[in-house]
Chain A
Amino acid sequence: MNPALRDVLVFLQSWWVELVSGVVIVAVVPLVAGYLVLMERKLMADMQARLGPMRVGPHGLLQPIADAVKLLIKEDIIPDNADKMVFWMAPVVSMTAALTAMGGIAFGPAFLVARDINVGLLFVIGVSSLGLLGIVLGGWASNSHYSIMGALRSTAQLVSYETAAGLALVSGLLLAGTLRIRDIVHAQEQSGVWFVFLVPVAFFIYVVASIAETNRAPFDLPEAESELVAGYMTEYSGFRWALYFLGEYANMIVVGAVATTLFLGGWLRPFPNVHWMNWLDALPALFTAAVGAYCVFRAGKQPARVQVWFMWGVALACFAVALILGVPVLPLQVVAPLKFMVPGLHGAFWFLLKISAYIYLFMWLRFTLPRYRFDQLMHLGWYILIPLAIVNVLAAGVAMILETEYGWNRWLALVVTTLFTLGVALFLLRLNDKRAAAASSAAPPPEEPSTEDSYAG
């Protein structure tokens, strides 16, 4: 055989899983992002006592598809004075970074997209942070004041909060002792507890910083619609705008996955080592079956025939998933050969459930909290979160030394150091209040906050 052809075949043979998963990610993530938007709108409607999208499909279930079609057939406008090449490239960079970062995530033990590289978590963080380049370049290339203001804000915000997020991850990684995704989850399985209970302060810092990194309210300063129209995407329309949007939602999934992997036990079910909790294995099947049953219940109340059929379709899909998840865990001799599927399938279920909970938290915060002012955002980042994160890393390190060198109980060591970190947090907050009080009493406040006014908008 031709050696070149043989090389290609060998390559395909050893890498086909990765190639197929790459295609699946590129194909599925836009759909998921669309449905996240729908979920967000529905949640917002629920919290504001409205119904939200109801027209397209039953309960607006087909709204994302309608939105996608609308965006695709919209006119594609490029401003005359824009830098064409960079303008064209920027949204692509943003989306590519987010989708590439997803390649490093393990959606369950069987759904590892890339090979388990030994810098796994670092790869995800590093590549997802490249999305910032897309935002900055897009804001510059649009040649518009609102855009460049949004881009500048975005850079300042991300550079500040990435430090805090990275330091928060470090204290989790200290406990895990590895960067490899599979080993991180394995370390949590062995210690019998999710790391969020061991280093709660780090988890809190990561949640705050990841909200800022994904440009979501209350830190959505780069695209604050009441100040900057739409920030860096002001001049974008149609499909390019959709790419930015896609990148943003893909980024939400990525930060959710990082938090889940490191702090929330990855694909492990709750209490993975406790035997009398094994009934939790039935939960995935019961959950999906309950969703299906609800769809059947609602199907009768739909006004149009098509919508009834659609509801039945969704219900059948739910029942099928419930069967796949449920049959292998039945205590029967017949299904014993299917047992090998359980870790993979249930792992994916729990992983996706945890990411969804994380994203739900994001949306909940968005509808609850008002937007920060830019100088407040910078103060929170530099005066509170980063010092706290540094202290937290030190505290976690001290706790590990106390445990390994002085034979302390792990819980005792971590409780002591966490309390110390919380004390430092209180101190920082009081210091900040004092500084603010001093600043306001010393001089009448200037019209612009003094330190960051060059990019405060």
Chain B
Amino acid sequence: MLDKVIFFFFAGVAILSAGLMVTRRNAIHSAVFLITTLLATAGIFLQLRAEFIFIAQIILYVGGIMVLFIFVIMLVSLDVALRQVQFSRQKWVALFVTLALAVEVGVMLWSSRKVPGQGFLLPNAVPAAKLPPNTEALAGSLFSSYLLPFEIASVLLLVAMVGAVVMAKKRT
């Protein structure tokens, strides 16, 4: 009961602020609502006892990426940007992609309703309190089974970082 209340609270906040984020004209307001969405999603992670993912979401997305977003938005002159013609004119394409995605998710949920341990509503879910500690489990799988993808992702990020530095230095 209480679980449901908490879940629907977070889910409602996430969806509502996601909608508001798309519809606001002011970029800073959009950023604020994106932050709310991310925080609400973090709340759902916490409810699933995925503490590490919860805090990683907050530190990386809200504390890092969104701060940089706002930093950039502040440096751009908003009034000029508002008066210019928007280039986001792919309304029909966007609608089509969204519909396709929705159908895909629906089909997936529908087809997996009979598979044991998966599906829309789990009849006998593992109680969250019995799960192993999330941080240790994550570190264990990252550094054992998924070591190569993890390293590739790290190198990719490093390359991106070096590339950004090179591009920034070129102008001076």
Contacts and interface: CB of A to CB of B under 8 A. Distances in A.
Interface of A: 3-4, 7-8, 11, 83, 85-86, 89, 117-119, 122-123, 125-127, 129-130, 132-133, 136-137, 139-141, 148, 151-152, 155-156, 158-159, 162, 179, 450
B1 A179 contact: no
Given A83-B28, A127-B58, A118 B63 contact: no
B65 to A, nearest CB: 11
B28 A179 contact: no
Given A129-B63, A162-B63, 10 more contacts: A8-B2, A11-B2, A117-B51, A118-B136, A133-B62, A139-B74, A140-B28, A141-B28, A152-B75, A155-B70
Contacts of A140: 28, 70, 74
Contact of B55 (A7, A83, A122, A158): A122
Given A129-B63, A132-B63, A119 B71 contact: no
Contact of A137 (B32, B63, B75, B136): B32
B1 A3 contact: yes
B74 A133 contact: no
Contact of A155 (B55, B58, B71, B133): B71
Interface of B: 1-2, 26, 28-29, 32, 35, 51-52, 54-55, 58-59, 62-64, 66-68, 70-71, 74-75, 133-136, 172
Contact of A133 (B26, B51, B67, B135): B67
Contacts of B136: 118
B88 to A, nearest CB: 23
Chain B interface main SS type: helix
Please give me the 5 A-B residue pairs with the lowest Cβ-Cβ distance, nearest first. Answer: A126-B59, A129-B63, A7-B1, A119-B51, A126-B58
A3 B29 CA distance: 41
18 contacts: A4-B1, A11-B2, A86-B32, A118-B134, A119-B51, A122-B52, A125-B59, A129-B59, A130-B63, A136-B74, A137-B32, A137-B70, A139-B74, A152-B71, A155-B70, A155-B71, A159-B68, A450-B172
Contact of B28 (A3, A11, A117, A137): A137
